[in-house]
Amino acid sequence: MNRYVYLLEEAQGLDRDTLGGKGFGLVEMRRAGLPVPPAFVVTTGACRAYLKEGRPPEGLWEEVEAKVRALEGLTGKAFGRGADGAPPLLVSVRSGAPVSMPGMMDTILNLGLTLEGVEALARATQNPRFAWDTFRRLVQMYGEVVLGVEAQAFEEVLEAAKARRGVPDAGLTAEELEEVAFRYLGLLGERGLDFPMDPWAQLRGAVEAVFRSWNNPRARVYRRIYGIPEDLGTAVVVQAMVFGNLGEDSGTGVGFTRNPATGEKGLYGEYLRNAQGEDVVAGVRTPEPLDRLKDFAPGLYRELEATAELLERHFRDMQDFEFTVERGRLYLLQTRSGKRTAQAAVRIAVEMAEEGLITREEAVLRVDPNALPALLKPAVDPASAPLPLLRGLPASPGAAVGRAVFSNEAAERYASEGLPVILVRPETTPEDITGMYLSQGILTARGGLTSHAAVVARGLGVPAVVGAEGLKVEEDRAWVGEKEIREGDLLTLDGSTGAVYLGEVPLLEGRGAELLERLLSWAEPYRTLGVRANADTPEDARRARAFGAEGIGLCRTEHMFFQEERLPWVRKLLFGSPEEEDEALEHLFRYQKEDFKGILRAMDGLPVTVRLLDAPLHEFLPPGSEAEREANPMLGFRGIRFLLLRPKVFQMQLRALLEAAQELKREGLDPRPEVMLPLVSEPKEVERAKDMAQALFAEYFPIPFGTMIETPRAALLAEKIAPLVDFFSFGTNDLTQMTFGVSRDDAGRFLPRYLEERILFADPTETLDLEGVGRLVRLAAEEGRKSRPGLKLGLCGEHGGEAKSVLFAAEFLDYTSASPYRVLTARLAAAQAGLRKVRA
């Protein structure tokens, strides 16, 4: 016969899948010697059997009864019955699936109490008010959770009682609470429902209700969405009640072993005197900081400090624990690893390693690389933040305060007076680049996380909030509903959270760089994947190098074309007469050569991969010529298509690069340029471009010649393309857009809803889609290396600085390339990948 029920002391060695998360935590706490009220766990196996057969498995109730008897023994109380002046044994019944799962039955407290028991409890505690309140709570919870009565019905009864007296709950007398309890019972009777006055019946009802709640519609939807197996089942924890509401020397609280916001070591949390757990949740009274216990209960505080120490030592991580104090005595009811901010995560990991609690390797693995960019940036102080005016997508981390401007001109005007500005636009285009450079923050009404505004802002390291629904931007003002924002109005935005505030909100400066450096120094030895940066200017290149970039993986020459003084020449080049074209080429050649020299100098001795011109042509159109716009510029006349049909542009760019390198070599430097083709979809394109390049290589010197793989077709034909080049660089931005058939600029209309409704689990423009896009990348890498052994492989989309994507890249690529502020993320993620490989 299967065994389904275990006392905590019997359950050592059973796993989380059998005991559920809550049960497992209790067993471990008990094992660590912490004060845990006696309890037993009904395993997930019992639940599975129940759901399969439609009834409890044979022998379950006998086992449960035996364990209740054991609890009686351990507590010296009798279940549901007062005996010998002792209060009755009451229990809490909680669900506890192996995975945390909303939608299931949560908790019934005080179970086992009957009318008879109330009397005994009142007698034993000498507190009839407490006894009736306890009963009243049980009837309500049981009615709601087991019998399915709407909470509203109970609330109305309680509200009416309070209204009669004009007091809060705690103000009701024993008699009044008794009346409420009886009204509750009546309310159930009216519905033909029966509150069992037998403690055993209550227990059976509650356990079965937990079992059944596994199949609540909300729980099912949740499992389907999150891919949680249907057949896990939930465990049930039955635990002897302790009471935090037995007076001023009782209470309930939540503790963290370290500060979850800053990571600072030391007890942190909240406490509510004379209350049961659910009173904290109900928010009727405001809890006080745990610190306060130092004054009125220093012994308890010391005990909690010792508990925190013990929990960390046992679980080897920062813990978030729940406790109750019954008449001065501490009981622990739950523990789990605590959620924390990015800053706290780094600090906790580093300090725990230095305290010897965990190894340095563990510390390296504990920090989410994606959280790093935010660490270096100022943030809105949550303590003093008002309600946001509106919310958009957190496109570029960091917070900024500045004056709203709606044009380049206004940005220049304010900047020349030394005033910080926030550029507010419907969406940005290359036209806005001056304003973006001058801004402390960027706010757009449209666009997704990889829209022009988002990409440029991240490149510049400027905080940005994009796609702020509800924001209407006009020429010289903006509206949020009825609220007008005029030029010069102060705005605060937080690009890490997406919040936008009216006025100036205090900011916290970015901290943690030093701890982060320490963490990275531990991580680096495990990293095998190269990390380069996407950078288009010498400043970006220097910044990236400072963050540890080992080269430039993507230098986008079109970004150089966008600079305001060059735009007229670019337009002449693209749309002018042949004479104008030649004149423009001469000018742009000189600009580009200087650009390249600057970048190559900043990256002296490291590779710099220059991608030849690739911008949808419409981005260069003079204002007012929108009619010439392409229907789908993403899929239009750009990249290699343009370069092959306008060979002079190709030659000008490559010559500028080669000449820049030549001049630096003469200075004794070690420039390492590489040239890369954009938007290839056909091997012949590469062949033709290579012919042109080789003519120039013959004139100067050869440099590595490669191609982006950013159309699905290029990936599918990698085997034919590879022999023509020295390297592939996977442009996962475009590759994602084309593989999904989703334009990053238009995704805002449905992608947020897709994520909300879990049609997609992650934004594929942010986290590389492994099943689709990743499959193409892997296929191209394999087939490319097959036909060209030694082919160098890199990744240079926005994904190049996203942790999960870097993990994927580390499996088989040579390097990843990230925007400068994401270089740290890439380094840590790549190190984690290496570390995991070493461990496996």
Give the residue numbers of the binding site for Mg(2+): 710, 734
> Which of positions 707-746 make contact with its own copies (CB under 8 A)?
710-713, 716-717, 720, 734, 737-743, 745-746
CB of 692 to its own copies, least distance (A): 13
Does 750 help bind its own copies (rule: CB under 8 A)? Answer: yes
> Which of positions 657-686 make contact with its own copies (CB under 8 A)?
679, 681-682, 684-685
**Quick one: which of 770, 792, 772, 773 has its CA closest to 781?**
792
DSSP letter (8 states) at residue 772: I
Does 218 help bind its own copies (rule: CB under 8 A)? Answer: no
Catalytic residue among 47, 555, 559, 796: 796
Helices (H) and strands (E) in the chain, counts: 33, 31
Contact at 8 Å (CB) between 259 and 246?
Answer: no
Taking the CB of residue 54, how many other CB atoms lie within 10 A of it? Answer: 6
Question: Is 796 an active-site residue?
Answer: yes
Helix (H) or strand (E) holding 654: helix 647-666
Does 259 help bind its own copies (rule: CB under 8 A)? Answer: no
Does 34 help bind its own copies (rule: CB under 8 A)? Answer: no
Which of 635, 669, 692, 755 touches its own copies by CB under 8 A?
Answer: 635
SS3 label, residue 97: coil
Which of 83, 772, 787, 804 touches its own copies by CB under 8 A?
Answer: 772
CB of 631 to its own copies, least distance (A): 4
Does 444 help bind its own copies (rule: CB under 8 A)? Answer: no
Does 329 help bind its own copies (rule: CB under 8 A)? Answer: no
For strand 319-326 and strand 792-795, is the pairing parallel, antiparallel, or unpaired? unpaired
Which of 773, 793, 826, 829 touches its own copies by CB under 8 A?
Answer: 773
From 199-207, 335-343, 395-403, 626-634, span contacting its own copies (CB under 8 A): 626-634
Which of 313, 775, 786, 837 touches its own copies by CB under 8 A?
Answer: 775
CB of 636 to its own copies, least distance (A): 4
CB of 321 to its own copies, least distance (A): 37
Contact at 8 Å (CB) between 300 and 269?
Answer: no
Q: Rank residues 341 and 444 by Cβ distance to its own copies and give the closer one.
A: 444
CA atoms of 59 and 1, how far apart (whole Å) = 8
Does 637 help bind its own copies (rule: CB under 8 A)? Answer: yes
DSSP letter (8 states) at residue 705: E
Contact at 8 Å (CB) between 505 and 401?
Answer: yes
CB of 685 to its own copies, least distance (A): 6
CA atoms of 129 and 175, how far apart (whole Å) = 8
Does 482 help bind its own copies (rule: CB under 8 A)? Answer: no
CB of 774 to its own copies, least distance (A): 9
Which residues are paired to 92 by β-bridges? 239
402-440 as b/e: b if 16+ CB within 10 A = bbbbbbbebbbbbbeeeeebbbbbbbbebbbbbbbbbbb
Does 636 help bind its own copies (rule: CB under 8 A)? Answer: yes
Does 228 help bind its own copies (rule: CB under 8 A)? Answer: no
Does 63 help bind its own copies (rule: CB under 8 A)? Answer: no
Does 758 help bind its own copies (rule: CB under 8 A)? Answer: yes
Does 431 help bind its own copies (rule: CB under 8 A)? Answer: no
CB of 678 to its own copies, least distance (A): 11
From 9-17, 168-176, 381-389, 768-776, span contacting its own copies (CB under 8 A): 768-776
Does 760 help bind its own copies (rule: CB under 8 A)? Answer: yes
For strand 792-795 and strand 727-730, is the pairing parallel, antiparallel, or unpaired? parallel
Which of 51, 174, 644, 755 touches its own copies by CB under 8 A?
Answer: 644
Q: Rank residues 131 and 445 by Cβ distance to its own copies and give the closer one.
A: 445
From 41-49, 432-440, 470-478, 772-780, span contacting its own copies (CB under 8 A): 772-780
Q: How many residues does the chain have?
A: 840
CB of 758 to its own copies, least distance (A): 8
Contact at 8 Å (CB) between 131 and 111?
Answer: no
From 58-66, 146-154, 304-312, 767-775, span contacting its own copies (CB under 8 A): 767-775
Question: Is 452 an active-site residue?
Answer: yes
> Which of positions 3-22 make contact with its own copies (CB under 8 A)?
none
Q: Which residues are annotated as a binding site for substrate?
A: 556, 611, 710, 731-734
Name the token pair of 77. Answer: 């109380």
Give residue 51's Cα distance to chain centre: 34
CA atoms of 642 and 602, how far apart (whole Å) = 30
Q: Which residues are annotated as a binding site?
A: 556, 611, 710, 731-734
Does 692 help bind its own copies (rule: CB under 8 A)? Answer: no
Does 229 help bind its own copies (rule: CB under 8 A)? Answer: no
Count of chain residues binding its own copies (CB under 8 A): 49
CA atoms of 529 and 810, how far apart (whole Å) = 5
CA atoms of 370 and 798, how far apart (whole Å) = 12
**Quick one: which of 367, 429, 376, 428 has its CA closest to 399?**
376
Helix (H) or strand (E) holding 89: none
Q: Rank residues 153 and 635 by Cβ distance to its own copies and give the closer one.
A: 635
CA atoms of 363 and 629, how far apart (whole Å) = 52
Contact at 8 Å (CB) between 535 and 541?
Answer: yes
CA atoms of 529 and 809, how far apart (whole Å) = 8
Does 213 help bind its own copies (rule: CB under 8 A)? Answer: no
Contact at 8 Å (CB) between 20 and 101?
Answer: no
Sequence letter at residue 249 = D
Does 765 help bind its own copies (rule: CB under 8 A)? Answer: no
CB of 714 to its own copies, least distance (A): 9
Contact at 8 Å (CB) between 496 and 374?
Answer: yes
Does 428 help bind its own copies (rule: CB under 8 A)? Answer: no
Sequence letter at residue 496 = S
CB of 580 to its own copies, least distance (A): 20
Catalytic residue among 452, 555, 559, 799: 452
Residues 6+ apart with CB under 8 A from 439: 400, 402, 405, 411, 421, 422, 423, 462
Which of 1, 387, 631, 840 touches its own copies by CB under 8 A?
Answer: 631
**Quick one: which of 116, 5, 93, 103 has its CA closest to 50?**
5
Q: CA-CA distances (angstroms) from residue 823 to 541, 599, 681?
A: 11, 17, 29
Does 645 help bind its own copies (rule: CB under 8 A)? Answer: yes
Does 633 help bind its own copies (rule: CB under 8 A)? Answer: yes
DSSP 314-370: HHSS-EEEEEEEETTEEEEEEEEEPP--HHHHHHHHHHHHHTTSS-HHHHHHHS-GG
Q: Rank residues 452 and 518 by Cβ distance to its own copies and give the closer one.
A: 452
Does 544 help bind its own copies (rule: CB under 8 A)? Answer: no
End-to-end alpha carbon distance in the chain = 38
Tell me, residue by residue from 118 to 147, as one string, x for binding to its own copies by CB under 8 A and - for no binding: ------------------------------
CB of 220 to its own copies, least distance (A): 13
Residues 6+ apart with CB under 8 A from 316: 352, 357, 358, 362
**Quick one: which of 424, 419, 422, 460 has its CA closest to 441?**
422
Active site residues: 452, 796
**Applying CB under 8 A, which residues contact its own copies?**
630-637, 641-642, 644-645, 679, 681-682, 684-685, 688, 710-713, 716-717, 720, 734, 737-743, 745-746, 749-750, 753-754, 757-760, 769, 771-773, 775-776
